[in-house]
Amino acid sequence: MTQEKNFKIEKVEKLPDSEAQILGEISLDFLTKCRKDALKHLNAHLDLPGFRKGMVPEDILVKTVGAGAVLEETAEVALGREYGNILKESELKPITRPEIKITKLAPGIPLEFQITVATVPEFALPDYKKIASEVKETEADKKQAAILEALVKETKLELPKRFIDSESAHMMEHFKQDVDKAGIKWEEYLDKVKKTEDEVRESFKGQVTYRAKAELIIGKIAEKKGLKTYGDVFTFLEKK
């Protein structure tokens, strides 16, 4: 039995910097089905005198939060449920969280959306066996690190700015939390290392870029050669 589709993709457009945009719509029937869960979610988070949480009658709930808020919550529920299916049909391989915009939302009509994502960039592998054979390190761990560094250096691979910015911001936030847990104020840390916040962020961009390139290169070699693990790839690379 074929499962009913709740969305329609109008267009998938490739953009510069390895980004892509999906334009489409969610059906009115599916929005109607999602409205029930949207109301339940709003009800669970509404504090209204005279009513237990989650037990506000629908008419009073809608009057309190507004029909627009119910419609927006319904849209979020619907897009959240169908995002994975939309992505699968688009055949895109995102490497960042999507930027989702609702471009048309009104009672009695389908929802129109725009999804923008940074995707895995296309790139050609260098002569990885030759590169690996030219690394002369004696110790195993250092040799693998040296091979990886050489592969990254010799591979023409440009990562999307959206991805680098997103991952750097994420890393920066975690680092700030670590500094705070150590009992150091962020301003004091910056003064101690004699760097601005922008300089610290730029250093994270370098780490993000190297790590992502390395993972993509190793992943592509693994896919090409039918290898399963990181270790399998290096065993293959180091084998004469």
Domain containing 102 equals 7-118
The total number of structural domains in the chain stands at: 2
Residues 234 and 153 in one domain: yes
Q: Per-residue confidence at 3, pLDDT binned at 50, 70, 90? A: low
> Is the pLDDT score of 138 beyond 80?
no
Nearest one of 151, 169, 122, 162 to 211, comparing CA atoms: 151
Domain-located, residue 189? yes
Among residues 118, 152, 176, the one where a domain terminates is 118
Domain end: 92, 118, 144, which one? Answer: 118
- How far apart are the C-alpha atoms of 105 and 113, rounded to whole Å? 9
| Strand arrangement of the beta sheet that strand 99-104 belongs to | 7-15, 19-26, 111-118, 99-104
CATH number at residue 67: 3.30.70.1050
Same domain assignment for residues 109 and 197:
no
| Same domain, yes or no: 169 and 75 | no
Average pLDDT, the chain: 92
Residue 23, classified by CB atoms within 10 Å of its CB into exposed (0-12), middle (13-18) or buried (19+), is middle
Calpha distance 85→79 (Å, rounded): 10
Region of residue 237 (phi > 0: left; psi between -120 and 50: alpha; otherwise: beta): alpha
* Residue 185 and residue 146 share a domain: yes
- pLDDT tens digit string along 42-83? 999 999 888 888 899 999 999 999 999 999 999 999 999 999
pTM: 0.78
For the segment 90-133, what is each residue's pLDDT rounded down to a tens digit? 999 899 889 999 999 999 999 999 999 999 999 999 999 999 99
- Domain end marker among 118, 144, 172: 118
Better pLDDT: 110 or 140: 110
Per DSSP (E only), the strands in 45-192 are 99-104, 111-118
